């Protein structure tokens, strides 16, 4: 990371101004409205000032507890409220998780992200998840978990077990949020993010494009992320994966240029954060992905499965990075 929250500079960031947390919706909307090439050019400039633009960080995902979730997130195949053909399973064993983590490491991933389809973890689950975090760290990988809402005590326990990142997304703008989720509020998400930050864990927080939101909602989501008290270290931008059986299975497709614009605006407003080109790559052309990298995306999920849905295979991704002259960061 080149630029710190207090504005001190290192590496690529020399000469770069302090990070902002006072973006207005109008300013961000104006970025979205720039001519496409101008927007991507500005984002690419900031990317170069802060990072080596040839490097892409790669994370591998594992669903450690799949399906049967009591929440009603309209995009999610793991909600018990929809029939998306995902079988509810119990929390995986430590051994099985470590087997997957070793395979991910052998495949070249530097971060292992474990996701659980919970509204919030129970205290007895925490013992098992903390053992997984310790085990994965023992393999020399960075760790990330996404377990839903947390209490202060749970956030502190995760920190004590050595957790590097906690993923908890805002998903969309505060105004559009109620169209997508009714079982948990935006404020509850902000509260969990605050507890994670306070515990000293790096924050991974982003959202989804393609749920029927308009460009003003995309701007609202970026404002909410960029105006957090500190920028999330990692900002996953997901393209909705439309899963049959979920309420969003027939959502209108997003123009790929509009997706690239969202990546570019995330890069401009949060210039020192890792911006992850997250879900949705399975159906994305190589050209669109290349534009995302040009617009400042510098991280991907790597490996043939996200949590429950497909992702490009490792060979296909390595071939793409190679073709583009990009390399996995170590």
* Interface ranges with ligand SF4 (CB under 6 A): 69, 71, 73, 76, 78-79, 117, 148
* From ligand SAM, ligand DTB, ligand SF4, none, interface partner of 163 (C-beta below 5 to 8 A by class): none
Cβ neighbours, 10 Å, residue 103: 13
* From ligand SF4, ligand SAM, ligand DTB, none, interface partner of 171 (C-beta below 5 to 8 A by class): ligand SAM
Q: Which listed residue (121, 135, 148, 206) binds ligand DTB by CB under 6 A? A: 206
Active site residue 29: no
Residue 173 binds ligand DTB (CB under 6 A): no
φ/ψ region of 2 (left if φ > 0, alpha if ψ in -120 to 50, else beta) reads alpha
Active site residue 20: no
* From ligand SAM, ligand SF4, ligand DTB, none, interface partner of 66 (C-beta below 5 to 8 A by class): none
Cα–Cα dist 51/1, whole Å: 7
Helix or strand or coil: residue 40? helix
* From ligand SAM, ligand SF4, ligand DTB, none, interface partner of 308 (C-beta below 5 to 8 A by class): ligand DTB
What is the chain's alpha carbon radius of gyration, rounded to the nearest angstrom? 18
∠ CA(140), CA(194), CA(192), 5° rounding?
Answer: 80
**Of residues 42, 111, 130, 144, which has the active-site annotation?**
144
- In sequence order, the 6+-apart residues with CB closer than 8 A to the CB of 29 are 215, 216, 219
Q: Which listed residue (143, 161, 167, 172) binds ligand DTB by CB under 6 A? A: 167
* From ligand DTB, ligand SF4, ligand SAM, none, interface partner of 298 (C-beta below 5 to 8 A by class): none
- In sequence order, the 6+-apart residues with CB closer than 8 A to the CB of 146 are 113, 114, 115, 116, 166, 167, 168, 204
Cα–Cα dist 107/311, whole Å: 15
Nearer to ligand SF4, 189 or 202 (CB): 189
Distance of closest approach, residue 197 Cβ to ligand DTB, in angstroms = 17
Q: Which listed residue (31, 203, 307, 321) binds ligand DTB by CB under 6 A? A: 307
Cα–Cα dist 59/63, whole Å: 13
Q: Could you say which residues in the range 110-139 bind ligand DTB, by CB under 6 A?
A: 115
Cα–Cα dist 30/95, whole Å: 50
Distance of closest approach, residue 79 Cβ to ligand SF4, in angstroms = 4
Nearer to ligand SAM, 138 or 310 (CB): 310
Q: Which listed residue (56, 97, 279, 291) binds ligand DTB by CB under 6 A? A: 279
Helix or strand or coil: residue 91? coil
- Token representation of residue 201: 């864990």
The secondary structure of residue 159, as a DSSP letter, is: H
Cα–Cα dist 16/62, whole Å: 37
Binding-site ranges for ligand DTB (CB under 6 A)? 61, 77, 115, 146, 167, 169, 206, 236, 238, 241, 278-279, 306-309
């Amino acid at each position: 990371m080149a630029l710190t929250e207090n504005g001190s500079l290192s590496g690529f960031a020399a000469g770069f101004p302090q990070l902002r947390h006072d973006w207005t919706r109008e300013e961000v909307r104006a970025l979205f409205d720039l001519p496409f090439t101008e927007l991507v050019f500005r984002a690419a400039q900031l990317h170069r000032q802060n990072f080596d633009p040839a490097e892409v960080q790669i994370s591998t995902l594992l669903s450690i507890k799949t399906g049967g979730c009591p929440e009603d997130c309209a995009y999610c195949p793991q909600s018990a409220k929809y029939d998306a053909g995902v079988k509810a399973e119990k929390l995986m064993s430590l051994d099985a998780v470590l087997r997957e983590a070793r395979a991910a490491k052998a495949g070249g991933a530097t971060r292992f992200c474990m996701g659980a389809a919970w509204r919030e973890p129970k205290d007895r689950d925490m013992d098992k998840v903390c053992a997984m975090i310790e085990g994965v760290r023992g393999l020399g990988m960075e760790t990330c978990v996404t377990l839903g809402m947390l209490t202060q005590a749970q956030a502190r326990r995760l920190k004590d077990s050595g957790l590097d990142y906690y993923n908890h997304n805002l998903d969309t703008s505060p105004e559009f949020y109620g169209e997508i989720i009714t079982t948990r509020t935006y404020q509850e998400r902000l509260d969990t993010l605050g507890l994670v930050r306070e515990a000293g864990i790096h924050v991974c927080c982003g959202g989804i494009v393609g749920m029927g939101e308009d460009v003003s909602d995309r701007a609202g989501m970026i404002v909410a992320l960029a105006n957090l008290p500190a920028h999330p270290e990692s900002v996953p931008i997901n393209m909705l994966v439309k899963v049959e059986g979920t309420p969003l299975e027939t959502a209108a497709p997003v123009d790929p240029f509009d997706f690239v614009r969202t990546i570019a605006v995330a890069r401009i407003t949060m210039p020192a954060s890792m911006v992850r080109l997250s879900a949705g790559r399975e159906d994305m052309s190589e050209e669109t992905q290349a534009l995302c990298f040009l617009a400042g995306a510098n991280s991907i999920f790597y490996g043939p499965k996200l949590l429950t849905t497909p992702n490009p295979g490792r060979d296909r991704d390595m071939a793409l990075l190679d073709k583009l002259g990009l390399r996995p960061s170590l």
